[in-house]
Structure 1
Amino acid sequence: MANASDMNSSAMRHLLVPAANMEKLGSETLPRLERSGGIYVYDESGRRLMDGPAGMWCTQIGYQRREMADAIAEQAMTLSYNSPWYMTNSPAIELSEKIAQLTPGDLNRIFLTTGGSTAVDTALRFVEFLNNALGRPSKKKIIVRKDGYHGSTSLTAACSGREGNWKNFDIASDKISFISSPNARLHPGLSEADLLEKLVKEFEDRIIELGPENVAVFLAEPLLASGGVIIPPAGYHARFKAVCEKNDIVYISDEVVTAFGRCGEWFASEDVFGVVPDIITFAKGVTSGYVPLGGLAISDKLVARVSGENAKGTFFANGYTYSGHPVSCAAALKNIEIFENDGLLQHVREVGPYFQSALRALEQLPLVANVRGTGLVACVECLVDKSATTVTDQDKKIGARIDEIAFELGLIVRPLGNMCVLSPPLVITKQQIDDMVGILKQAIVRTAEELG
């Protein structure tokens, strides 16, 4: 194995990472992780770090689960691959049946992809296919929200309302229409009920403006994860779904982050947020990040419109080389088994309120303007002026400094500008929550002291 210096040198010469700072390309590299265990990872120097974001919202069962590694190895030695265009495999069939049992309503048709971006992209392509097959070629508009995030394909990136991701990419599309973020901080003075009415009216007005005959789909995360764990007002999703039904608009719930236990349920749409969508997308937690996999569940009612006697000779000609990959599907099945054997959903329901309460206590600190979340996902938003409705460059520098100090103290925090996001592995204990919140508190206090 190459030594640490050679490894860093190779990374700087050859590796192009996501969100690379091109100005510093070749002169610096990211911290390197070498091993892991439980809720911890270890860097190249052997220093232990608590994994606050669970990798990227995904390491639900924690690291170094031997039964997961064994399941992956066994499947790789049994059948490592099959072409999804001509054949299928037993793990893919078993996983589809299992997920159909876990989804709400009649979302029983499962399409498997490679990750979250391809899951959302496929869901949007299915709606496009649906309307073309139904002879409605003009019904193609996609309504999404500011602060939302849906992926990194050309289409899903264009649907993502985080404008900081748009620079130097050709994102704009006349197919896509953005409505307001449901972030209450951006609507000062409104009660939750009044905010809901305002947002519903905006949605209805936008459909009228675009023409209901032209609007195909509303795409929404149950909570806006990368936008800063934004929780919509109570009743939001049910009201929006009713508007969709009235106008024959497909409702897609993007559960790439919220599915598989993050909010204490297999899927958060119905049990946490009160809506049964037409399509649910998932990824991340389906394999706890051990191997890549994503997918979508489509309602029987929707599929029936373009299948059987209604198919009229059409083919849904969409897929990926690794759709239904047998090793990934075997990992997902083992992941679900671990969830069930360990009682992980119940564990999240028990420690989630403790996690939220511990973090909300930080609102007493200087700089902490708001703490919000549900289950085991939360955002601590920091502002120099706690009452401000806009974020300044100084606020973003404060967020970066908090993250930097937390890292020095042994905690990885997901940095999002002025926001510190935590979504730890679901196996986290109350003592580990105390450790995590204690480190974050120290980082915030030290940053405030540095500001004077």
Structure 2
Amino acid sequence: MKPLDNLDQIRKNDNESWFHPWESMADVGAANRTVISRADGIYVYDETGRRLIDGPGGMWCMQIGYGRQEMADAISKQIMQVPYMNPFSLTSEPSARLAAKLAELAPGDLNHVFLTTGGSTAVDTALRFVQFYNNVKGRNNKKHIISRASAYHGSTYLCSLVTGKDRDKNWFDIGSPFVHFLPSVNPSRRPTGMTMQAFADEKAHDLEAKILELGPENVGVFIAEPIQSSGGVIVPPDGYLRKCWEICRKYDVLYISDEVVTGFGRLGHWFASKDVFGIEPDIIICAKGLTSGYLPLGACLISDRVFSEVSGNNARGATFGHGFTYSGHPVCSVAALKSIEIIERENLLEHVRDVGPYFQARLQELRDIPIVFDVRGMGLVGCVECTVKDIAKDSLAFDSNLGARIDQHCHELGLMLRPIVNQCVFSPPLIITEAEIDLMIEAMREGILRTMRDIEQELGILIG
């Protein structure tokens, strides 16, 4: 594929006009981001025509792969039939059918589906519903929210309140006496000599202790990702989430499972909460893989048990005064239905369960590189965390530079990464094969080794 003819104009427009998410303000106007010119299967193509394996799968969302003609056809047909309808007073066939399909796929009694515009608005919906729920029930003190260190739940104000990423300085005025963060559940940083079982027990005890400290009558909800994805793919120790769910049941605290990343096949199941971690949450949040990234859409799924307590004869005249202009957008709903259809027809859940262990085993082979601190993951999500001992000293600037160097080398080798500081995260399209996994891991290995050699040469040291 030849380079883009209008690259200079694209760069000019991007640098001068597009204010990007998570923009480094020092780099505004000179970021010179990679321009994605085309995409197909598991590959994207940059401005030079170079083909890159999409290691992060967009942003954890590209389940079925790029370039699906049947997806384009379904979207186009719906645009010509009903491109929009007012969700406050009307409905459409795709939106209603999608809600029913999600209720069918979800575990337990999660049969009430509020369709949103993405993950952040789904989290926002869930948190507002918890407030609504307790107010309707006359439990006005039950307002406290418990989250966790390294959690990421989105970018609305409410979502930011419950996000606990601890290495990024927060320049916004956010904070609430009603939001509390539990210590990290990262097993790689547990005390030396502590077993995984003891660590799981300790982390679950952190939740129970916080509930008792605040008073169960004051705690409304615990929110947790099954795997803390943007926090660095932190996989909790076995049994931890189940213990937390049981503690929430014990003290009448609602449990929100944020499956924005883990839903729709990432771990080999439609939802990971029950099939992987053995819990049936009161609320599940999903987005990203819901449409395989083709169009923006999110959903908040609420259990019959909870919903029935504030509806019908228990409604006390209340209206859930919350919603979005694009809630249940019919074109986005069609994209979700088509993505689900493809995942079902091509047995992609089974495929992930087949290739996931191979992917995880190949990732673990990278541990022999001296600057690799930790490798972790599950299914088709993974993380390689790199550091230089006795040099980095928890320096955010050094670690960020380390991640950027690895990213640059991997790009030259045909692999697109998404470094989160010094953590290189993976969530490739679910259609990836073992042979393509080999290509991805080989590029990753060489990219890390080249970075290590750069540092050795620049600092005049020998690592490892």
Moved more, 158-167 or 187-196: 158-167
Aligned partners of 2:5 and 2:51: how far apart in 1? 21
Q: Structure 2 residue aligned with 1:330, among 334, 342, 361?
A: 334
Query: What one-letter code is carried by the residue in structure 1 that aligns with 2:65?
Result: G
8 Å CA contact 2:285–2:299 kept in 1: the answer is yes
Q: CA deviation at 1:387?
A: 13
Deviations 1:46-97 (A, max 9, x none): 1111100000000100000000000000111110000001101110111111
Moved more, 159-168 or 410-419: 159-168
Q: Structure 2 residue aligned with 1:73, among 65, 72, 76?
A: 76
**Matching residue of 1:283:** 287
**Matching residue of 2:141:** 138
**Matching residue of 1:420:** 424
How do residues 104-143 of structure 1 correspond to structure 2 at under 5 angstroms? 104-143=107-146
Q: Which SS does the other structure have where 1:231 is aligned?
A: coil
Query: What one-letter code is carried by the residue in structure 2 that aligns with 1:245?
Result: R
Task: Confirm or deny that 1:60 pairs with 2:68.
Answer: no
Q: TM-score, normalised by structure 2?
A: 0.95
Task: Confirm or deny that 1:241 pairs with 2:245.
Answer: yes
How do residues 368-383 of structure 1 correspond to structure 2 at under 5 angstroms? 368-383=372-387
Q: CA deviation at 1:337?
A: 0.5
Q: Structure 2 residue aligned with 1:98, among 101, 115, 128?
A: 101
Q: CA deviation at 1:391?
A: 6.2
Task: Confirm or deny that 1:437 pairs with 2:422.
Answer: no
How do residues 323-362 of structure 1 correspond to structure 2 at under 5 angstroms? 323-362=327-366
Q: Structure 2 residue aligned with 1:172, among 170, 175, 187?
A: 175
8 Å CA contact 2:392–2:398 kept in 1: the answer is no
**Matching residue of 1:449:** 453
Aligned partners of 2:395 and 2:169: how far apart in 1? 18
How do residues 224-303 of structure 1 correspond to structure 2 at under 5 angstroms? 224-303=228-307
Aligned partners of 1:70 and 1:296: how far apart in 2? 27
Q: Which SS does the other structure have where 1:229 is aligned?
A: coil
Query: What one-letter code is carried by the residue in structure 2 that aligns with 1:55?
Result: G
Q: Structure 1 residue aligned with 2:209, among 205, 208, 211?
A: 205
Moved more, 44-53 or 256-265: 44-53
**Matching residue of 1:22:** 25
Q: CA deviation at 1:21?
A: 1.5
Deviations 1:289-327 (A, max 9, x none): 000000011100000100111001111111100000000
Q: TM-score, normalised by structure 1?
A: 0.97
Q: CA deviation at 1:444?
A: 1.0
Aligned partners of 2:260 and 2:24: how far apart in 1? 26
Deviations 1:132-184 (A, max 9, x none): 10111111110000001000001101111013445210121111000012101
Query: What one-letter code is carried by the residue in structure 1 that aligns with 2:199?
Result: L
Q: Which SS does the other structure have where 1:305 is aligned?
A: helix
Query: What one-letter code is carried by the residue in structure 1 that aligns with 2:26?
Result: E
Q: CA deviation at 1:426?
A: 0.4
**Which consecutive residues of structure 1, in runs of 5 or more, have no partner in the other structure?**
none
Aligned partners of 2:180 and 2:391: how far apart in 1? 30
**Matching residue of 2:459:** none
**Matching residue of 1:37:** 40
- Pair 271,428 (structure 1): closer, same or farther in 2 beyond 3 Å: same
Q: Percent identity?
A: 51
8 Å CA contact 2:167–2:396 kept in 1: the answer is no
- Pair 341,386 (structure 1): closer, same or farther in 2 beyond 3 Å: farther
Query: What one-letter code is carried by the residue in structure 2 that aligns with 1:168?
Result: W
Give the root-mean-square deviation of aligned CA atoms: 1.6
Q: CA deviation at 1:386?
A: 9.6
Aligned partners of 2:368 and 2:30: how far apart in 1? 40
- Pair 389,268 (structure 1): closer, same or farther in 2 beyond 3 Å: farther
8 Å CA contact 1:140–1:175 kept in 2: the answer is yes
Deviations 1:309-355 (A, max 9, x none): 10011111111000000000011111111001111001101111110
How many positions carry a matched residue from both structures?
A: 452
Q: Which SS does the other structure have where 2:294 is aligned?
A: coil
Moved more, 148-157 or 403-412: 403-412
Aligned partners of 2:428 and 2:168: how far apart in 1? 24
How do residues 399-410 of structure 1 correspond to structure 2 at under 5 angstroms? 399-410=403-414
Extract structure 1 runs of 4+ deviating beyond 4 A: 386-393
Query: What one-letter code is carried by the residue in structure 2 that aligns with 1:276?
Result: E
Query: What one-letter code is carried by the residue in structure 1 that aligns with 2:280?
Result: V
Q: CA deviation at 1:421?
A: 0.6
Query: What one-letter code is carried by the residue in structure 2 that aligns with 1:351?
Result: V
Aligned partners of 2:390 and 2:374: how far apart in 1? 8
- Pair 83,2 (structure 1): closer, same or farther in 2 beyond 3 Å: farther
Aligned partners of 2:71 and 2:191: how far apart in 1? 47
Q: Structure 2 residue aligned with 1:49, among 47, 52, 59?
A: 52
Aligned partners of 2:424 and 2:48: how far apart in 1? 25
Aligned partners of 2:6 and 2:397: how far apart in 1? 38
Q: Structure 1 residue aligned with 2:400, among 396, 399, 412?
A: 396
Deviations 1:393-433 (A, max 9, x none): 43433222111111121111110111111110000011110
Q: Which SS does the other structure have where 1:181 is aligned?
A: coil
